[in-house]
Chain A
Amino acid sequence: MAGTSEQRTIVLGAIGIWAALFLLGASSLAYALIPGLPLKLPAALVVVVLQAALVLGGFMRLGKASALVRTTALIGIVWLSFLFMMSFADLWTR
């Protein structure tokens, strides 16, 4: 049985990350709704990257995971970049 202080750490830690996710989402929404602002989609994607980093680091504890696990997570992204890179090499030069 965990002590109450440990329980509080668990709950507060999750609430903290949740609050950060929520605020980031709210800022993304606000930026999208205010008319006339430039680069709306890139801005939204930057927010998603930050949110994803929070979930990966805070909830999924990727930072504390072994090097093997972190490499695995990275490899998915790297291989996806192959698909984008090579296909756009075609699409942009047609």
Chain B
Amino acid sequence: MNPAPSIIAFTTFSGLGFGLLFWLGMDPTPPRGWVAFVFFFIGFALALGGLAASAQHLGRPERALKAFSQWRSSWLSREACCAVAALVTMGLYAAGLVFADVKIPPLGWLGAALSLGTVFTTSMIYTQLKTVPRWHNRLTPLLFLSLSLAGGALLSGRVTLSLALILIVGALQVVWWRIGDKALQASGTTLGTATGLGDGGRVRAFEPPHTGTNYLLREMVYVVARRHARKLRGIALILMMVLPILLLLAPFHHITALLALLSHVTGVLTARWLFFAEAEHVVGLYYGKR
């Protein structure tokens, strides 16, 4: 799949923002006043920035409001509804803490649940696609949720918790890659089943339908990543897991914590690029590109 920068930014930063909002909502002793303002501002900026980036990817962004209508059937619509509900609920909760020094725990819990729900619905947009076997996997939502929780914990300064979560994220990521590498083969879809000609012999794409490229090839048949995938996976793991853990185990300092966060986010961005770039859409079979 085409690793569009807008979607990589959206899924990474909104996941991080909603992760932070989750921990703020669950916190029994949340920050108040100006400190609360700063924390919530970062959470909202990341979540909203991510959503704005995703709107960039639309062909007709001026009609984006229509996307709230199909929550009964569409995961993308559910994501939009869930995101707005989470932001409104957390906004009310934050307003209480920042301006009135009032804490309303049930509102925080509801906002936290909706924040995680938004990350879950985001992950389901990809998980539901049978056409991309690498994504069509129960571990995909777990990976997104754990990444969001780990990033949020790191952002909100929960050192011990983020250490544990980052370890879980790293393990999940490795297992997800291993399963994903065999997913297309395990799906049973081949050029033989795609054309129905498989029973007659070995099928080979002889001639494409056109001499130029097209939307399908640009969007769904991205093959550049394969060459450097191994190296990039190593870099992603070091940046998102190994380096942050080493930095967090060092004596606590705001600079090391910041470096751990930056390293983690860069690692997640790399892994998210691979998430798209390595994903094989079955339509590529018709073009002999798998």
Do these two chains interact? no
